[in-house]
Structure 1
Amino acid sequence: MDFLLFVSLILACLCSSVSPDPQGDALIALKLSLNASGHQLSDWNENQVNPCTWSRVYCDSNYKVIQVSLAMMGFTGRLAPRIGTLKYLTTLSLQGNGITGDIPKELGNLTSLIRLDLENNRLTGEIPQSLGNLKKLQFLTLSQNNLSGSIPESLANLSSLNDIQLDSNNLSGRIPEQLLEVPKYNFSGNKLDCGVNYGQPCAFNNADQGSSHKPIGLIIGISVAFVAILVIVGLLLFWCKARHKGYKREVFVDVPGEVDRRIAFGQLKRFAWRELQIATDNFSEKNVLGQGGFGKVYKGVLADNTKVAVKRLTDYESPGGDAAFQREVEMISVAVHRNLLRLIGFCTTPTERLLVYPFMQNLSVAYRLRELKPGESVLDWPTRKQVALGTARGLEYLHAHCSPKIIHRDVKAANVLLDEDFEAVVGDFGLAKLVDIRKTNVTTQVRGTMGHIAPEYLSTGKSSERTDVFGYGIMLLEIVTGQRAIDFSRLEEEDDVLLLDHVKKLEREKRLDAIVDRNLKKNFNMQEVEMMIKVALLCTQATPEDRPPMSEVVRMLEGEGLAERWEEWQHVEVHRRQEYERLQRRFDWGEDSVYNQDAIELSGGR
């Protein structure tokens, strides 16, 4: 009996360990039911455990699917009822396809849903009563379909509804009166009746209602404007009085010209300047988490006690203004991966550009390597390996799976953050493009940190994925050694200032034990150290074409293909070194010789 119980427990554990992800299963069912062609959603892989890396699927920090955006992709199939299992979903966008069949009643199980957009399809049947269960729903768009029947009374219970668009269908009957009180609606193009309390057809949007409503709106508008003027005058009087009496209390006001609104794309929030001003204690220096080429980062606490990191961009002037900035922010926001820092929202004013991220309690890899406070523990070797692989996966996603691809341009230990589980989270990606967007005719401004910048980027100003690979290689050396990319204190020992040259020298001398961070106190695997050093040196080759792409770097860190690539590189290095020594001897002997020193520089441009 005990044996049978033991076997049952083992089988249960095995089954649980290989059980599929219900989120991924639901999305694969949707893909199949929509009749997606071979080139559509090709990266939706049913064998991949986590769907958060799939295109058009967006997740929160806990890897829960919160958004599926499949607009205007030409689907002709039906909606899979299984989509109703995505209980964390907040946005479902399928507009502009040719989807047929009914709206599944299972959509009523998506109780976290905020936006449902099925506009411009070929849906038939009635609107399910179950949609009345979506208590958080704010935007419901079912326009331009072939829906019939009456509007369910259950929709009248959606107290959060701000926008309902049911126009251009075959709906009939009476509209629930509560829906005519929604701020924005459109029931035109149907056979609907407003009811006895409304003496006009329902073929209008509330923004175009009859003149009987206009005086009320005008009166309300004038009243609001008058109250606003009084408030502003009162604040000015209070401010003047406070200054006169020498009060030190801070008065938080919005920056003139700011429009506090919410934007439509994704789940990004547009913050008011005042929110972030209060959250960061007026951008107090005591809340500065770090400072780099793109500006300062401040720790902040929002009104709901959420801890955030607020990056205040500097050196930003966009010819397209707010709209151009929003387009670039949207580009960053769609890059969702477990090893990329998720963007929460942003704030713009006529003079400010700010980005809001989750606060990473373990700060950066650079901090954990070199800036620890007393009592804090250093990163152990297994964590360093995990950080190296996670960072590589994040960069691979930016290079290979984002459209358009995103080049980081400042890969270093200070820009790799650590979450509560010490998982690597790449930050600051896309910021170089955000800042440089003002350069309408010049795209070659160098952004980065000396010691991490690839030689071709430094000399030409032109970046590519391979410049990120170079920076990643330097970051690997930081992880192994714990040292900075440039350290002038090494001059005291007649050593190389550049970490890359320092490591190359020790590697040639077979002194790998002198490379590893002393804080590890020999608690590391020398074979794994050697592997990471080899990958780093392959990534930092002087010629960009010789560097492996990040996809290959990931495979090498996972133990595939490193030996062959390293042997090939060794042959090239030996030849270069022999050629350098031969030319040096000719130079020392006084023979006439002209050669390009940059072409044989082993460590890249300084």
Structure 2
Amino acid sequence: MATMSANFILFLLTMAACSSVIFSASVVEDLNTLHPPSDFNTTISKNCLLNPSLRYCSTSPMNLIEIFKSSIVASHLCNDSRNPNCVESFPKIDLRSRPNIALLYLSFHFFWKYCPLSILSIDLSNNSLKGSFPIDVLECKQIEALDLSRNDLIGEVSFRIFSDLANLTTLNLSYNQFSESRISDSELFFKRFNSSSFISSGLLPDHRKYRMKVVILLIVFPILVIVLVWFLGWLCFHRPDFLPRMLRRKHKFTPAMLRAATDGFSEKNLIVKCEGVDIYSGVLRDGTEVRIEIYRNGNSREIRNEFIEECKIFTQLFHKNLVKVLGSCHNRRMRALVIEASEGESVDMWLSRSRPPWKQRLKVAKGVLEGMVYLQEQWPAVDYDLRTDSLLLSRKLVPLISRFKLGHQNCSSRNIYKFGVFWFEMIVNRQLRDEIKQDESSFIRNIKTQISKNLQAVINECMELQRESMVNQAKTAMNLALMCTDQSHGHQPNLKYIYDTVTRLSSNQKMQEAEKIRHKRILSRN
């Protein structure tokens, strides 16, 4: 009895407990109807004394119901596995291509818990088993062969679970859908068994995948890096306006940015085209409306260097009567200045289109002088243009000096002369204004002659100088313009005197307007 196999003991136990019962055709039915005999506990204890290696002997406390059920399942499974003499031996579990009962036996966890020691081979192949690896079958630690091939098992397989199966020499996990294991965990395991045990199992490293990874690493990745570097370079050198503001070069614009802002320098965005410069309107990517001046008068290295130095100064100019220079574009093909657009028109267009009264002309002249004073005191090296077609005017009649150039120190005499010409344009009639644009020198000589003869014929008729005080103001303004254009040594007034004179005229005009309004109110009350 001591040499009797575990299976044999269990079968005798089952038969003794159920001597009057013939094995049922259904294991489930037997599990539900058969019950352990009254002396079952005694029999189990004797068996453990005779063979302590029996699995149920090591459990404490013993679950007699589970042990009895496992003996019933073992009886059925031995027969279903086509073992020749299940009373004497139970060497193999063979459920190949029997998906229905294979699933049933795998569900009996208590059987695998007390797996008979006589079982040496388990074959559950070709059963369409789904889910993760059936870990319960590894409770039969004595097995020498295990076949789970041709199923639909998935998930990872930790090869540590096979470490207790010292007798396992044949393993077949082929044709499943396991997840590929890390080489560090599986290298020794794959050496233990032949690679044919893992065909299409998903466990073996897919060399095609590795080849693809090598291709990606050695070819595709460098290409992606090159493309990324190229794209970032393109952004930095062509469209930095797509970068965060902190990464952009301040006051720096590129041809691509200006092209995008002007719809490709379209005709509809062209404001004016004159000698040496094209002026476009545009909208930057952040919504800022700008005026873009593109210079066409040469682009040599010397000219570019001079332009760069000018732009460094122009972007620092800050005054309410100066346009705001946002930046520049300079390379071998383009030189351009980007200026913030003002909602208005040029002074020349304003004089031609409307009939501005005398007080508005004084307001504009005073604003121009304030800008001149700022430049003379803060940036004496900056030269500028005061022609009415280059001076801009906002909708609130704020004049803006818009054309700059680095000049020379002590150029105040030339700037005063330019103001005198500008002042004449603001005062004289349309015919004389046209003469100024054609020949300034002959105009000034002609104006000196006409002023002494007939001031009214010279002054712009739109100003409507109705009172004698206004005529005297216009005469003072004309004399001031003559003084500014007189470049004889010592005859030109300084900028402070000009500013004070225009300010006084403007103040007198305001006082007269206020007096006029007060007089009207008195008359209306009477």
Greater helix content: 2
Larger Rg: 2
TM-score, length-scaled by structure 2? 0.47
